[in-house]
Structure 1
Amino acid sequence: MNNITIIKASGEKAPFKIEKLISSLQRAGADKTVIDQITEGIEGTLYDGITTKKIYQMAFKMLKSKSRVSASKYKLKKAIMELGPTGFPFEKFVGKILEHEGFQAEVGVIVQGHCVQHEVDVAAIKDNKHYMIECKYHSDQGRFCNVKIPLYIQSRFLDVEKQWEKQLGHQTKFHQGWVYTNTRFTTDAIQFGTCMGLGLVSWDYPKDNSLKYRIDKSGLHPLTALTTLTKAEKTKLLDTGIVLCKELHEKPELLKEIGINKQRHKKILEDSEALCKSI
């Protein structure tokens, strides 16, 4: 199978590596028997030029038939993309992660800078740390955040920081701008952010602080990961202002409010509770 070429979401070509598929299934909690069945099934249908999207769809379908919860974990990246079409649910999602980590987070705030006002996606405070966070949500896996994004955010942050420093008590605070994205950063975006001291968080960067890592660690899965909800039902729940499986488990009455019958409640709540468990 080493001669099979796959097409990534970005259009880039790469050799197929079964180890990557096995690793992703292991992270989803699938046992060895299930993993062996899925990899055997996929290896038998591979062809040169197959897309990673097609491989994912086949693996997800097979995994879902074996374990709904594992399938929900396996589709985590796609589930975050399903928080759209606007970026606001993703901003709320980032705010919830920060709150879980002990920050006081406020989503969608107007902040006065030295020169002009700025609409900030998330403002977060913890101890002496004061962060201005911008969230860049993409519904397409192939779209990366290039260097223009951190350049723009850093200039806004510097204007805000200059105003923050005038406030009483802020002389001892550590101020920093951050960019969160659900896809990836280009190499030059990471280089600029690192050079300027701008915090960067993407799907898989940095390794020990990425979205993927922090969601697995905290158990804060988006409700869009649930395979027991339809797309329309997920949209209705997002419209109520909740974004987490955890919130759904804490407010089960929301299922009734959006018209889901009692027979389905048990499966949905069982899955949401299982997803709340951190690794």
Structure 2
Amino acid sequence: MKPPINIVKYSGDVVSFDVNKLRSSLRRSHASEELIQQIVTQVENQLYDGISTQKIYQMAFKILKAQSRVSASKYTLKKALMELGPSGFPFEKLVGKLLAHEGFEAEVGVIVKGNCVQHEVDVIAKKDNTHFMIECKYHSDQGRFCNVKIPLYIHSRFLDIEKQWLQLKDHEAKIHKGGLYTNTRFTTDAIQYGKCVGLLLTSWDYPRGNGLKDRIDKSGLHPLTALTTLTKVEKTKLLDEGIVLCKELHGSPGLLDKIGVPEARHRSILEDSEELCSTH
């Protein structure tokens, strides 16, 4: 039996390589089991002690992209969310669009009067009798987690806003909640505090089965940064145009001309964006 191979995570932690985790992440790409096994075999043959998770991801992504661009786009979702920067505003827009898709009335970047001071809130979401004040914490580095200080700060802002909301006509019967979305992960303390005070917490993989990765997969609201057919510069230009989703790009194909993408590449970009919008 081979000795376990140690790998280095983004956080710097050293753990044993787990082939099931690699398989699980590849299954999210909706690739065939045959292709997944092929990738797993090739990656295992290139492993060495001390290899980084980033290097393993790059190896798997390269093989996947050669076989299926759209599967590669789905596989790269975590990285695609990291590319919604540097301001983080595109991430806020993505969260707003995700909530709107789920039946909320959502506004992004709203100035809200609190009891003590005014607040600029990333997303205000309303549905039925519930009012949400949601803050978005974007990180461009996978190794950075949301620690307990962030929900503490957001909850204090929510309490100031809620105090003002409760003074409004017809708000006595409404349910008010604060929320925090991040594209990385929460520390254990952050989750414990959030649960205790009733904050709605959403991260890459939390709550289990209903985190960002699951909800984006279900809705087909993939960020355009996931497209392997666009260059980094082209992605930045589209984000500057206010376009965040593949769906939006597919609905406005003229934007490719506007940002200077050669016509010969339009078809593959639009085909991939259309397939990523699919929820099957």
> TM-score category by the smaller chain?
over 0.9
Per-residue deviation, residues 125-166 of structure 1 (Å, max 9, x unmatched): 111110000000000000000000000000000000000011
The 5-angstrom pairing of residues 195-210 of structure 1 reads 195-210=196-211
Per-residue deviation, residues 172-216 of structure 1 (Å, max 9, x unmatched): 111000000000000000000000001100000001321011001
Q: Match of 1:255? A: 256
Separation in 2, partners of 1:97, 1:23: 24
Q: Match of 1:266? A: 267
Give the Å deviation of 1:225: 0.2
Q: Match of 1:95? A: 96
Q: Match of 2:124? A: 123
Residue type at the aligned position of 2:223: P
Q: Report whether the alignment pairs 1:215 with 2:216.
A: yes
Q: Report whether the alignment pairs 1:16 with 2:17.
A: yes
Give the Å deviation of 1:19: 1.0
Contact 1:6/1:15 (8 A) holds in 2: yes
The 5-angstrom pairing of residues 155-174 of structure 1 reads 155-174=156-175
1:195 to 1:2, Cα distance in 2 relative to 1, 3 A: farther
Q: Match of 1:41? A: 42
1:135 to 1:2, Cα distance in 2 relative to 1, 3 A: farther
Contact 1:157/1:177 (8 A) holds in 2: yes
Aligned length, in residue pairs: 279
Give the Å deviation of 1:33: 2.4
Q: Report whether the alignment pairs 1:50 with 2:54.
A: no
Identity %: 70
Give the Å deviation of 1:32: 2.2
Q: Match of 2:178? A: 177
Contact 1:28/1:70 (8 A) holds in 2: yes
Q: Match of 1:31? A: 32
Q: Match of 1:60? A: 61
Residue type at the aligned position of 2:108: V
How high is the TM-score relative to the length of structure 1?
0.98
Contact 1:82/1:139 (8 A) holds in 2: yes
Aligned residues: CA RMSD: 0.9
Per-residue deviation, residues 79-113 of structure 1 (Å, max 9, x unmatched): 00001111101000100000101111111111000
Residue type at the aligned position of 1:217: K
Contact 1:2/1:16 (8 A) holds in 2: no
Give the Å deviation of 1:2: 5.7
Residue type at the aligned position of 1:136: K
Unaligned runs of 5+ in 1: none
Q: Secondary structure at the match of 1:212?
A: helix
Q: Match of 1:242? A: 243
Q: Secondary structure at the match of 1:236?
A: helix
Q: Secondary structure at the match of 1:110?
A: strand
Per-residue deviation, residues 203-232 of structure 1 (Å, max 9, x unmatched): 000013210110011010000000000000
Q: Secondary structure at the match of 2:70?
A: helix
